[in-house]
Homo-oligomer: A and B are copies of this chain.
Amino acid sequence: MPSTQYASTLHVLILLAADQDSVHTSTSLAARMDTNPVVLRRIIADLSKAGLVTTRRGAGGGVSLANNPEDITLGQVADVIEADMTFDVHHVSDQTEADFLTDAALTAIEAQRRELHAASIVELDRITLRDIMQAATLRADLARLLADGLSDDQIRNGYRIEKGRLVAIDD
């Protein structure tokens, strides 16, 4: 799957989940993700059809999450965009003479592909958007403090983790 659609979709959802109070538009998201607004509208259209986000047209409109991040699993996201995450199976044109084993092998390989797909979705359903959003926000907070010149020790002693965010300790 040389398609980056699933990763881009996750990226959008993380940005939406991490800041649910701001207005997000395809243009503002595109600037942050270094791509074109239309690319994002295509992604958002899929999410909207599946009910994961709501959109509002017109001035002041934009995109927002339809549900709480903890109620969306990565498996659902994969379903929405029909992401494959397995492998492609070649097909064999009608042979000159029947090769039963080749036909049977292709059927067995396709069955194996479906099994792997099911197992992948199960694996992805164990993670929620909240999980991956918190992993990202925590890391972003840390990078922000480091960019401000704070040392590891200063961060360790002056900040604590609360709901996946680094917050300053007042004392």
Interface on A for B, CB 8 Å cutoff? 1-4, 6-8, 10-11, 14-15, 18, 32-35, 74, 83-90, 92-93, 95, 98-109, 111-113, 115-116, 119-120, 123-124, 127, 132, 135-141, 143-144, 147
Contacts and interface: CB of A to CB of B under 8 A. Distances in A.
10 contacts: A4-B88, A8-B90, A10-B105, A11-B90, A11-B109, A32-B102, A100-B140, A104-B138, A108-B135, A120-B123
Contact of A100 (B6, B11, B108, B144): B144
Copies of this protein in the assembly total: 2
A85 B83 contact: no
A119 B119 contact: yes
A6 B105 contact: no
Contact of A88 (B3, B18, B99, B124): B3
